[in-house]
Structures are given as C-alpha cells and as structure tokens.
C-alpha cells in the first residue's frame, strides 16, 4: 500500500531474445509478487542514457514466462519506499536483477516498448490513474514483469527507475 522506487544507477543491458535466460545484472530488473495473492501496480518507468556514442536500445517491459528464483539486487540497484513513514509489508515484493533460476521474458506478453538511444536520450512512461500495469501472485505468467533489452541495436550505458506499488 505504499509506493516504492526500484532504481538502478548505471548498467549496460545485454540484448536478449524472448524465452531466453536473462543473465544476472544485464537487465534492469524483475518485479515479482511476494505471495501467491499479492497485487502490484507499476506506475512509472524512466530511463536515461549514459552512453558515450550512439546506442539504440530496445527496452521492453514484459511479463515473464519463467519466473526468477532467489532474486537479489546487483550493484547499483536500490529499492526504496517513497513515503518516509512506510511500514514494512508482511510479504514484501521480490525485486532485483540477479537470480539463481534466471527469468525469461514471455514471447507473447510484451507490455511496453521503451526503445530509445542511450547516447543522451531518455524515455519516461507514466500510467494514468487506474490504468497501471498490474501483476498478480508470484507465478508465471502474471506474477512477474521484467524490464530488459530486446534483441537488436547496440544497448548502451543507462540508468533509471521504476515506481511501483505493492498491495
């Protein structure tokens, strides 16, 4: 019931095809329900390019057909509550970009294409109130979303954040 920010200061994504393991720390992250009934809304995504030369980067927010297991955050990734008085949830959502069982992006359930040039480009998406992207539970294929680079282009250095709200 409290908005949180999943941030990543700087990283270079690796272009990865659908239904292929997302290698640790080469994707922005996953957001997965903390229980079989938890609902999570995704309200905003921002990415800013930090590359030193042209770097068309095809970032995709998509549901995962294979769910990540034993998830943790890699270097530079943070997950912070927006409200200073936020109380801890009994079942906190699972976020991170490192896992033992790697997540795989669904080939059919792409939700948002945020292609941009990481050479100084930026992209920001905001949902209208009530129109947020939702996950439910913690199983495939509606229980987890990932933000990762799709095949093609030359993904470049970037940073960004995702604002989400678990219930």
Residues of this chain that interact with another protein (CB under 8 A) are: 36-37, 39, 49, 54, 61, 63, 108-112, 116-128, 130-134, 136-137, 139-143
How near is the Cβ of 1 to another protein at its closest, in Å?
Answer: 15
Q: How far is the CB of 137 from another protein (least distance, A)?
A: 6
The percent of the chain in helix, strand and coil, each rounded to the nearest 5, is 0, 50, 50
Cβ closest to another protein, residue 82 vs residue 111: 111
**Which helix (H) or strand (E) is 79 found in, with range?**
strand 77-81
| Nearest CB to another protein, comparing residues 12 and 73 | 12
Nearer to another protein by Cβ, of 92 and 124: the residue is 124
Closer by beta carbon to another protein, 27 or else 119: 119
From the list 89, 161, 153, the residue with the least C-alpha distance to 126 is: 161
Min. distance of Cβ 16 from another protein in angstroms? 20
Nearer to another protein by Cβ, of 61 and 95: the residue is 61
To another protein, the closest distance from the beta carbon of 46 in angstroms equals 9
- Residue 60 phi/psi, 5-degree rounding, is -125, 130
Distance separating alpha carbons of residues 165 and 132, to the nearest angstrom: 10
Question: Least separation, in Å, of the C-beta of 20 and another protein?
Answer: 20
- 115, 130, 107, 118: which is closest to 156 by C-alpha? 118
**Contact between 147 and 29 (Cβ < 8 Å):** yes
């Amino acid at each position: 019931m409290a908005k949180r920010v999943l941030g990543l200061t700087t990283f270079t994504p690796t272009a990865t095809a659908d239904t292929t393991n997302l290698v640790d720390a080469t994707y922005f992250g996953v957001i997965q329900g903390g229980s079989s009934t938890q609902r999570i809304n995704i309200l905003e995504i921002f990415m800013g390019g930090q590359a030193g030369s042209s770097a068309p980067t095809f970032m995709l927010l998509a549901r995962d057909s294979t769910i990540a297991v034993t998830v943790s955050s890699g270097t530079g990734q943070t997950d912070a509550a927006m409200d200073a008085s936020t109380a801890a949830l009994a079942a906190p959502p699972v976020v991170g970009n490192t896992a033992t069982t790697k997540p795989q992006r669904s080939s059919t359930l792409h939700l948002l294409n945020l292609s941009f040039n990481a050479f100084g480009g930026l992209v920001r998406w905001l949902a209208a109130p009530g129109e947020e992207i939702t996950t439910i539970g913690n199983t495939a294929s509606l229980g987890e979303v990932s933000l990762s680079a799709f095949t093609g282009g030359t993904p470049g250095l970037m940073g960004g954040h995702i604002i989400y709200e678990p219930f």
